[in-house]
A and B are shown apart, each in its own frame.
Chain A
Amino acid sequence: MRNISTTVITEKVSDLVKVTALYLRPDIMDFFKNAIIKEKDENAKKNLLKLIENAVTAQDKKVPYCQDTGFEIIFCEIGQEVHITDGSLDAAIQEGIKKGSKDGFLRQSIVEDPIIRKNTATNTPGIINYSIVEGDKIKFSCIAKGFGCENKGQVSMLNPTASINDIKDFVLKVIKEAGPNACPPFFIGIGLGGTMDKACELAKKALLEPVGKHNKKKHLATLEKEILTEANNLNTGPLGLGGNLSCIDIKIKEYACHIAGLPVAVNIGCHAVRTKTIVI
């Protein structure tokens, strides 16, 4: 057994939340720098340059890359040999979100009730997903999810006999409908299989994957690449102003499926998809 105190957890989560929401992911920054060299459309080049200028300003001035610093989503993987001491784990994580949001001058974007809509003024509660794994460590992955893009996600419960083209058609429809509203170029997470909720969870988790890394299964890696090519032919372009860079990457996560269905969930990540993982 390894003891980990909630005081340590609050500190670590606070730092994680603060850093995640402020800056562009380094792999996406590298992607933009390469993309600008390859881009032929003059306007698209100019618009991509704005994204890089924005990322550099965020770093220099410690000001959030995007003002929508998001709904804080934490994936918490707890090793089964960990013993949490000094109080509630859940409360410690929420406290970390609160502290990180305050210290990082993040926006308070959370209202306590969907109908009454009073701002909690703390950026909490965040959404915490727990899983128990082997080992004596805790892994925290944070997604600071803005809502311009979150609003554009969709799920479809396809028939088990659906073809690869049916899956592609649905995903491309969602990407097209997200259009200029959800701040392209996009980073797309796709959940295939499981139940409706499982597919959505997988689609969200897929956003944690680095640019350029493909699904281990060959047929899914091929599907990722094909969707990427077709999405880039939609002429959405950076900021929706045209060009052939509509998506940064496509990530598929899959799970076993019931004989009667094929759930497909698409989570749209904007160019400001902000994620980070730490292990303690």
Chain B
Amino acid sequence: MIIKINTPIAQHIINDLNSGDYVELTGTIYTARDQAHKKLTDAILANKSLPVPVNSVLYYAGPSPARPGEVIGSCGPTTSARMDQFTPLLVENGFKVCIGKGLRNKNVLKAIKKNKGLYLSAFGGCGALYHNKILKAECIAYKDLLSEAIFKLYVENFPAVVAIDSKGNDIFTKEPL
């Protein structure tokens, strides 16, 4: 069964989702990968304003360029583990739902559990499939970073799997890999 959800995701919906659920998201999400995470972290630590509204869903992705007439190029998830060092601080500061691919470390798991957040694993390597689910894209910050900039995306029926739920269950560590 596929659970349809809208962003920003209401707290009672977050609470009801379980690790292993297949979901499809509709609404606005923001891309942020390595360098954007570093910059967001620096801004939070320096008490500066952020280019992304608090409570937004962060998507670890760096799209390929759009062909003329297209909204975006290929836009699948990148490896979440590289964001682990930044995620707990971002979760504590309101970014408690994130989407990437693969494993997270214990600190991320703890932060998500404590703040009743969510980590979704998107289908790694399926950038063309995600291209079809993105209806609008706008670069809103760090343009000089090219694909690593922050893009505001409007997505429809964006597929993912709940990897870490708000109770702290992790799909990847449930059984030995």
Residues of A participating in the B interface, judged by any CB pair closer than 8 Å: 46-47, 50-51, 53-55, 57-58, 61-69, 105-109, 117, 119, 121, 146, 148, 151, 176, 179-183, 234-236, 239-242, 270-272
Contact = CB atoms under 8 A, between A and B. Distances in A.
Contacts of B63: 67, 107
Contacts of B66: 105
Contacts of B128: 54-55, 57-58, 61, 63-66
B3 interface: no
Contact of A54 (B70, B121, B126, B172): B126
Interface in B57-82: 61-67, 70, 73-76, 78-81
A240 B100 CA distance: 13
Contacts, number: 147
A62 B78 CA distance: 21
B-side binding surface: helix, strand, loop or mixed?
loop
Contact of A148 (B35, B78, B103, B172): B78
Contact of A105 (B65, B148, B176): B65
26 contacts: A53-B129, A54-B125, A54-B126, A54-B129, A57-B128, A57-B129, A61-B131, A63-B128, A64-B127, A65-B127, A65-B128, A66-B125, A67-B75, A105-B73, A107-B64, A107-B73, A108-B146, A119-B148, A148-B125, A151-B79, A180-B101, A181-B79, A181-B81, A240-B177, A241-B121, A241-B161
Given A57-B132, A63-B127, A151-B79, A181 B102 contact: yes
Q: Is the interface of A mostly helix, strand, loop or mixed?
A: loop
Interface residues of B, number: 42
Interface string B128-140: 1101100000000
A61 B74 CA distance: 10
Most buried by A among B123, B124, B125, B176: B125
A151 B102 CA distance: 13
